[in-house]
Structure 1
Amino acid sequence: MYRIGELAKAFEIKSDTLRFYEKQGLLAPSSRSSSGYRMYTEQDKQTLSFILRAKAVGFSLADIKSLLSIEVDKANSVCADVKALVNAKLTDIEVKMAELTRFHISLQRLADACCGSAKSAEHCTVLEALESDVDQVRHEHHH
């Protein structure tokens, strides 16, 4: 059995994180000691490891809750259930990547359009672009 601090330390996380997972219904201590400490079993340790691995590949806590419910009831679940969760996460990531690419292009345009000199910012292309439309910025230096 592990006390909350021992389990947290083993995974290099804070005890607060374990309390948060408990509140979210992801991981509950198997018992409490006579002095009221949360006590975790080896199985709880494996569940925590599963949660942290799933988080590391981008699953949200809600996704992880779904994965855990499949994990504990594998016999009554099918691979398609798991694959659907993975595919939904892949779609989310692709949308985020497209958004980041748009941000990158827009910021690169701003950076390219700015002379970066010690001149007054009165005619700063970056500020002007943010006042109008970043995506319309052309490579123009105001001198």
Structure 2
Amino acid sequence: MKIGELSKKSGCSIQTVRFYEKQHLFKACNRTEGNYRIYDASSLSTLRFIKQCRSLGLTIIEIKQLLDTKMNPDRSCTSVNNLIHQHMTDVTKRIEELNELKQTLTDMALACSDNRKVKECGVLQMLEK
């Protein structure tokens, strides 16, 4: 199948398919006489796998590690479990950071009312600290 069909079947844009290809997450199988890339069912399966990983917030590096691990089906999956546990730790940390950011923004929103002049703006005063 050509890149347009792969794009439609996978739900990824053509630009995204090309990006993942440039990142060496997968490759086109062959080219037509007209020099169009041709993809097979394996490419579609890999692209769907990548898309699922991205929906979980996994990085390109993490996805490469998972794809490399998939190539050795008889190996232990300890590295996969470790990767997921580390990703959960990272997500937990980001949630904490976002909660702190939310609290800061809430404090800023409460620091000023609409009927003040700019020179009295509590938000601007907080930003200057």
Q: Which residue of 2 aligns with 1:11?
A: 10
Structure 1 position 72, deviation (Å): 1.4
Aligned 1:1-143 pairs, distance under 5 A: 2-75=1-74, 77-117=75-115, 119-132=116-129
Once superposed, which parts of structure 1, at least 4 consecutive aligned residues long, lie more than 4 Å away?
A: none
The letter of the residue matching 2:89 is: T
- How high is the sequence identity, in percent, across the aligned residues? 33
CA distance in 2, matches of 1:120, 1:56: 44
Alpha-carbon RMSD: 1.1
Structure 1 position 12, deviation (Å): 2.6
CA distance in 2, matches of 1:54, 1:109: 36
CA distance in 2, matches of 1:88, 1:74: 22
CA distance in 1, matches of 2:92, 2:98: 10
The letter of the residue matching 2:126 is: A
> Which string of whole-angstrom CA distances, capped at 9 and with x for unpartnered residues, describes residues 70-125 of structure 1?
111121x31211011101111111111111011001111111121222x3111111
Equivalent pair of 1:31/1:39 in contact (CA under 8 Å): yes
Equivalent pair of 1:18/1:27 in contact (CA under 8 Å): no
The 3-state SS of whatever aligns with 1:108 is: helix
The letter of the residue matching 1:22 is: E
Q: Which has the larger radius of gyration?
A: 1
Equivalent pair of 1:67/1:82 in contact (CA under 8 Å): yes
Structure 1 position 22, deviation (Å): 1.0
Count of aligned positions: 129
CA distance in 2, matches of 1:71, 1:102: 38
**TM-score, normalization: structure 2?**
0.94
